[in-house]
């Protein structure tokens, strides 16, 4: 299959993945937002538990990045939606991510590549970060203690967001893991927040925007006086 060019308008497309087609959605910033020279790939939670690129945390993370002027790419890992293949415990899923990243870099040469992931998607994007060398990495509820987190190679610009009432990922396991790393990171602890950010999804958007705004290639202008 011949991969399509990077779209000029938001929409769905299909890419050639390692084991067959991959479902992909590209969303571009709104017309009134200053465009950044960045493309962010956002990875979804556990495939075997209903995770997909339409998960509300994934879509909110992508929306927050677009609000900053960043084009976003969401995709279904193998076995999810119309993406071919079977679940591969995060190994083949890294290959899926690498295929999407290769397409982005071929289509948008010279632009920064950011990676983001929620839960299992945070694990996959962390695992792939050493090879892909993203400029910025965003890890939302990384499942430390549930998956093998040894040997991760995050970039210097790394934001971690963790709910303090997470019932699936042990928050203390995440904090202990981060404390044991010799890697710079920005940690945002969200109080009274469950794994899926119930009633906190808008707060997640704010935490993400505030956390990564400092790393934008073109600094975002401050709101005009009196602006809402």
Within a domain: residue 224? no
Span 62-98, pLDDT tens digits: 999 999 999 999 999 999 999 999 999 999 999 999 9
Q: How far apart are CA 166 and CA 104, in angstroms?
A: 33
Give Cβ neighbours of residue 227 (< 8 Å, ≥ 6 apart).
none
Mean pLDDT of 20-32: 97
Mean pLDDT of 206-228: 77
Q: How far apart are CA 45 and CA 216, in angstroms?
A: 26
Q: How far apart are CA 52 and CA 75, in angstroms?
A: 8
Which pTM value belongs to this model? 0.95
Confidence of residue 219 (pLDDT cuts 50, 70, 90): confident
Within a domain: residue 225? no
Give Cβ neighbours of residue 114 (< 8 Å, ≥ 6 apart).
38, 39, 40, 41, 65, 70, 134, 135, 136, 137, 138, 212
pLDDT score, position 227: 44
pLDDT score, position 1: 61
How much of the chain, in percent, has pLDDT values that exceed 70?
Answer: 96
Sheet with 157-163: strands ordered across: 11-17, 20-27, 71-75, 38-43, 112-118, 136-140, 157-163, 186-190
Within a domain: residue 3? no
Mean pLDDT of 23-30: 98
CATH number, domain at 192?
Answer: 3.40.50.1820
Within a domain: residue 71? yes
In this predicted structure, the answer to whether residue 226 has a pLDDT above a threshold of 50 is no
In this predicted structure, the answer to whether residue 222 has a pLDDT above a threshold of 80 is no
Q: How far apart are CA 6 and CA 222, in angstroms?
A: 30
List the domain range (segments joined by +) for residue 85: 11-215
Within a domain: residue 51? yes
Mean pLDDT of 158-173: 98
Span 133-161, pLDDT tens digits: 999 999 999 999 899 999 999 999 999 99
Structure tokens at 182: 């010799």
Structure tokens at 134: 């993203």
Mean pLDDT of 114-137: 98
Mean pLDDT of 165-192: 96
Residue 227: burial class (beta carbons within 10 Å; 0-12, 13-18, 19+):
exposed
Within a domain: residue 4? no
Beta bridge partners, 42, equal 74, 116
Within a domain: residue 228? no
Within a domain: residue 110? yes
The mean predicted confidence, pLDDT, of the chain is 95
Structure tokens at 47: 């495939």
How much of the chain, in percent, has pLDDT values that exceed 90?
Answer: 94
Q: Shortest CA distance to 76 belongs to which of 108, 116, 121, 28? A: 121
How many domains does the chain contain in total? 1
């Amino acid at each position: 299959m011949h991969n399509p060019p990077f779209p000029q308008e938001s929409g769905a497309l299909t890419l050639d993945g390692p084991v067959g087609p991959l479902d992909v959605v590209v969303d571009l910033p709104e017309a009134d937002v200053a465009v950044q020279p960045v493309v962010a790939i956002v990875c979804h939670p556990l495939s075997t538990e209903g995770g997909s690129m339409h998960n509300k945390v994934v879509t909110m993370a992508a929306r927050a990045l677009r609000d900053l002027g960043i084009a976003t790419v969401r995709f279904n890992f193998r076995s999810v939606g119309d993406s071919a293949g079977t679940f591969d415990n995060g190994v083949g899923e890294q290959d899926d991510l690498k295929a999407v990243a290769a397409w982005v870099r071929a289509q948008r040469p010279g632009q920064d590549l950011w990676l983001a992931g929620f839960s299992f998607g945070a694990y996959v994007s962390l695992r792939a970060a050493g090879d892909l060398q993203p400029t910025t990495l965003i890890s939302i509820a990384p499942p430390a203690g549930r998956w093998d987190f040894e040997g991760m190679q995050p970039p210097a610009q790394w934001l971690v967001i963790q709910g303090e009432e997470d019932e699936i990922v042990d928050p203390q396991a995440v904090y202990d893991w981060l404390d044991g790393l010799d890697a710079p990171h920005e940690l945002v602890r969200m109080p009274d927040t469950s794994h899926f950010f119930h009633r906190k999804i808008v707060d997640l958007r704010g935490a993400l925007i505030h956390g990564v705004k400092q790393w934008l290639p073109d600094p975002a202008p401050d709101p005009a006086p009196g602006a809402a």
